[in-house]
Structure 1
Amino acid sequence: MPDVTFPGRAASAALTRHFQDPASGALEPYVRAGSSGTTRTDLSGSIAAADTAQVMAVSNPNRRALGVQNTSGAELRLRSTGVASSSAGIRIPPGALYEAAAHDVPVTALSIWGATAGQTFVAWEA
């Protein structure tokens, strides 16, 4: 799993990932910045109540990008077609980053679930 950070979590912040160079074995950074003129909205937060889904984002017909990084120690679930639960939604393991494919960004409300209150996530939409 690549090392992923959201420096400062500011709007339009660069997303930094590292990959392992196959020749040297060293971790090398690469950076992808938001496109010019793109404003990102911070959706970051934490799970309010254990084993209870919550709304991470309301529906947004203008949403063109979505990213969620699980910064907690247990899995999270993200769902755009109903309520997320332990068995429903996209599984985001600890430390993992989910980015919606450009052709498949949901514009509906987003539900997020975690087993434990206080689990944190860093998320954005544009």
Structure 2
Amino acid sequence: MHVSLINVLVLALFVVGGGLVALMVTITQRSYKVDERSEHWVVYPSAEGAPQPESRWSVVLDEPGKRPVLVVQAIRTLTGAGPGPAEAMLDVVPSTIVSGVDHATATKAQAALVRAGARARMAQA
């Protein structure tokens, strides 16, 4: 088997480079562990386990989009309204679809309307 000098150099660079990457990862992990134990560690309000401020949200339909049938179905699913009231919400925009719900419910409702093709937004109630 014939091994050229270039192949040996490439292999040596790969081994040295991999060693440097492993060293950098180890140093980075150790620095994070030190930061977690420091007195300046901050828990942000959105972090899991932190108390969430209680607020209420509304989802407002701004534009029904190009697929109004799917939007009506999404409104009926979200509100439990019949086909007539759901279609009436499309005629008068902007219209509030869901109001007085928590942030997670409002986010899911907005996502359902956007998936149906509508333009919707969340507003703090």
Query: Fold match, TM over 0.5?
Result: no
Q: Which has the higher helix share?
A: 2
* TM-score, normalisation: structure 2: 0.30
Q: Which has the higher strand share?
A: 1
| Higher alpha-carbon Rg | 2
* TM-score, normalisation: structure 1: 0.30
